[in-house]
Amino acid sequence: MTMIPNIPPVLPMPIAIFGDANVIPISTPQGSGQLSFEAGFPFITQVPLLAGGIAPARADFNAVMRMLSIHAFFAQSGGVYPWVGADADFPGLNYLRGNHVLGDDGHEYIARLPSGPGVPAAGGGFVGPINPVMDSGTYWWNMTEALEKGSSGGAYVVGDSKLWRFRTNQLPEGWYHENGDRFPEGTDEYEVLDSFTPEFKADNGITLSVIGGINTLSLPTAYYTDGRGMFRRPGTPVGSIRDDTMRPITGSMTISSNIGVTPVAQVTGAFEVGAAIANSVNIQSVAGASNRMNFNPARLGPNFSGTETVPIHVNLTPAIYLGVPK
């Protein structure tokens, strides 16, 4: 028979928080009846006193109730446990995929892969403790960075690109205007840009340059060489740029007249009558007069005289996500 969990009563505080309590050792000292992590209450505390047994101590009961209720009180308050690595007296904790910890940078992390002193490594040995703050994202996912309050309102992968309605100097935290700006080695931005694969860098125009003896890496740019913003659409290879093109517009018109008669033309749309061509000869080799017909889309209105062919659109800010700075 299974039981549906019910919400337990609130713990107002840990039990025996102000009571006297022993420090719980790893092992019970030889010949004592002290509570320990390995043995709990040793067998001698079960032996009758007249037969040489040792009574369990009240301070040990207080110690175990305080220890357990402190954890329950912490969890009740929504606490996230800090990551625990190795030190001189402890090898560190083992973490399984999906475990949540708090890094020493104040960010919450979720385990992507198991790690810890007891977790076997693929090539033999053990993975060992992996500090989430120092991890590049292989073992831990920085949940706070992805869901930072006021940053993006959702989970984004570092390297994501997006068009924002914010101005270039008012982008949410972690987002950078794709304008080709460069960052020097030693900055958080350089570290993130340098972590991308060579293919990603090549596809997105992230280039390395040495300026003043210092390595710098550039942001991608969403702008063409003449400053125009480039449209984005599915296609391969990634990052390739297709130059201006448009569907062909064709047409023809012939106007001619006999000698001494002014040509008359009815033209509409993009066509217009150009200058007369004197002493022209028509196809029948009869002397006459002709007019050149010009094709000029600008006659249709100001929207047909631009430097590029674009649909109606609204300008937005292209930006890349590099994560929230540490």
Q: What is the pLDDT of residues 232-281, one digit of tens each?
A: 888 778 777 877 777 766 555 555 555 555 555 566 666 666 666 555 54
Q: What does the pLDDT read at residue 153?
A: 47
Indicate if the pLDDT at residue 193 is higher than 80: yes
Q: What is the pLDDT of residues 217-229, one digit of tens each?
A: 999 999 988 888 8
pLDDT tier for residue 283 given thresholds of 50, 70 and 90: very low
Q: Which comes out higher in pLDDT, residue 103 or 153?
A: 103
What is the pLDDT averaged over residues 71-76?
Answer: 95
Indicate if the pLDDT at residue 150 is higher than 70: no
Q: What is the pLDDT of residues 27-59, one digit of tens each?
A: 999 999 999 999 999 999 999 999 999 999 999
Q: Which comes out higher in pLDDT, residue 149 or 225?
A: 225
Q: What does the pLDDT read at residue 151?
A: 45
Lowest mean pLDDT among 12-16, 73-77, 105-109, 273-277: 273-277
Tokens standing for residue 94: 């083992």
Give the type of residue at 226. Answer: D
Q: What does the pLDDT read at residue 299?
A: 74
Q: How many CB atoms within 10 Å of residue 231? A: 10
Q: What does the pLDDT read at residue 58?
A: 95
Q: What is the DSSP annotation of 195-218? A: HS-HHHHHHTT--EEEETTEEEEE
> For tokens 């996230």, what's the residue?
80
Tokens standing for residue 288: 């006459």
Q: Dmax of the chain from CA atoms?
A: 144
Lowest mean pLDDT among 24-33, 123-132, 137-146, 284-293: 284-293
> For tokens 């080695």, what's the residue?
185
Q: What is the pLDDT of residues 128-140, one digit of tens each?
A: 999 999 998 889 9
What is the pLDDT averaged over residues 176-202?
Answer: 93
Distance from chain centroid for Cα 211: 28
Closest CA to 155 of 324, 325, 317, 316: 324
CA dihedral 254, 258, 263, 268 (to 10 degrees): -30
Instruction: Answer for the pair 209, 182: CB distance below 8 angstroms, yes or no.
Output: yes
Examine residue 237 and say whether the peptide bond preceding it is cis (omega within 30 degrees of 0): yes
pLDDT tier for residue 88 given thresholds of 50, 70 and 90: confident
Q: What does the pLDDT read at residue 261?
A: 54
Instruction: Answer for the pair 146, 298: CB distance below 8 angstroms, yes or no.
Output: no
pLDDT tier for residue 311 given thresholds of 50, 70 and 90: confident
Q: What does the pLDDT read at residue 182?
A: 96
> For tokens 């007891």, what's the residue?
118
Percent of the chain, pLDDT > 70?
Answer: 82
Q: Give the torsion sign (CA, 179, 184, 186, 191).
A: positive
Task: Report how far residue 39's alpha carbon sits from residue 42's, in angstroms, rounded to the nearest whole number.
Answer: 6
